[in-house]
Structure 1
């Protein structure tokens, strides 16, 4: 079964290894190195459905646990304790192990199954996977849109999960750790995984249905960035070089750590504007801000 990753295989030699496939694509001067690697992978696999499923599953596992590993190491180096947001609460090895088992179970029994049906869906709605890739400007625009829309989705549904039976039977699992750590980013009830995960996967799908313009490579980059954001937000560490010091609207670990510490407020994933505008910032700073606004309003009424 020949891959449809490229439109013209004229001049290609027989392939018995990935190296052979890359040598074939390396002859196409119009492709950059990433496009050559992408094309070589699909051409070598020879089955686009299997190739996409394997690619996305491996990307998820590699970058999720790969991003968790530095935080796991940092937690065991005393020098970094001064940057720990909740200094007295460190996850034990037993807690880490229980969390790891739960996350792996979720990955293999909940998330793996739909991944293998992703390529037929992409083909149906027009998500391309061929080389060359779209222009970098298109990719950056789409990534920006995905971050903004996912943040809005996450805010409202996360906030909803803190009400009544939704918290008791679904979201409470994620709040097992009042002091979060990187590995706990995807420690959640399967319903929560599906509901909040739709913001990551569903938004690009809807974007493609509307615009008819999206590439699987863009989705790959988006998922990697989203994984990094989620793991870092649960890291439990605040550094002088943390991103929100340079981008004030970026949420970061200090924003989400207060959500776990106080169990309410700071619902957004990537940005701070929803919590700021709607007065749902968690912790002492959020409370002080709300009290100050109430004081100003009271003073205006008495004037």
Structure 2
């Protein structure tokens, strides 16, 4: 995430927002910038890809289903818009640790003896690690002690649209994203690969709410259907 931070500082925050006397490596400045950039990026990804999916992929006949709620799309959007800033707070805390050098992220392929092979292997490892942990976190969120308080709000949308993809209780949303953020603290990962995977994960989250995600549940960790 330091790549995004440096670009944001160089082209926008340093010349236009922050005083020149405030060092770019100041932890409070970094936290503020990451909070702004993370939220702005999340909103752009959400509205752009959810809108594309809604108009070009989503089966609008599903909206005639008796369990499709009145004004559901606008309610999904409102829920997402309200939840994402709260989800971003713990996420930014982890981004800040990455930027401060506490992760195993690297920016030079030559830093490791196996080079490109290790980079490809890290992508496969990332996908396996995150999908496995999300499966168990998701199962845990369906436990009777936490389901009604944390995860049930997401299942208001029994017939979801792509705009429901981020309509979580903030803690629920963060917990399900946690494996993506803890991976680079445990295993080496290229910075650009991590950023690309982060974007793809957001697109994937939208895609499993496009009305076709349920068909793929047996193959992939898709949107679940528990509705109690």
- Return the offset for 1:198: 0.9
Match for 1:152 among 112, 132, 136?
132
Q: 1:129 to 1:156 in 2, by over 3 A?
A: closer
Alignment counterpart, residue 108 of structure 1, candidates 85, 91, 102: 85
**SS at 1:251 equivalent:** coil
Instruction: Measure the CA separation in 1 of the matches of 2:174 and 2:7.
Output: 32
Shift, 1:223, TM fit:
1.1
Other-structure match for 1:237: 212
User: What residue is the counterpart of 1:184 in the other structure?
Assistant: 164
| Cα distance change, pair 215–122 in 1 and its aligned pair in 2 (3 A) | farther
Unaligned runs of at least 5 residues, structure 1 = 6-36, 208-212, 265-303
8 Å CA contact retained: 1:57, 1:115: no
Structure 2 equivalent of residue 63 of structure 1: 45
Distance apart, 1:194 and its partner CA? 2.5
User: Which TM-score applies when normalising by structure 1?
Assistant: 0.55
Distance in 1 separating the partners of 2:106 and 2:9:
9
Alignment of 1:287-302 (within 5 A): none
- The structure having more radius of gyration, on CA atoms, is 1
Q: CA deviation at 1:69?
A: 0.6
Name 1:142's counterpart in structure 2. Answer: 122
Q: Which structure ranks higher in relative contact order (CA pairs < 8 Å, sequence separation ≥ 6)?
A: 2
| CA RMSD in angstroms, aligned pairs only | 3.8
Q: CA deviation at 1:130?
A: 5.5
d(CA) in 2 for partners of 1:38 and 1:161? 33
5+ long unaligned stretches in structure 2: 15-23
Q: Is the aligned partner of 1:96 residue 2:73?
A: yes
C-alpha spacing 1:116/1:233, structure 2 compared with 1 (3 Å): same
Displacement of 1:162 in angstroms is 1.6
Cα drift, residue 90 of structure 1: 7.8
The match for 1:222 among 197, 209, 214 is: 197
- 1:161 correspondence with 2:138: no
Shifted more, 110-119 versus 182-191: the winner is 110-119
1:290 aligned residue = none
CA deviations over 1:164-204 (Å, ceiling 9, x no partner) = 12112211111111112111122122221222121221223
Report how many aligned residue pairs link the two structures.
208
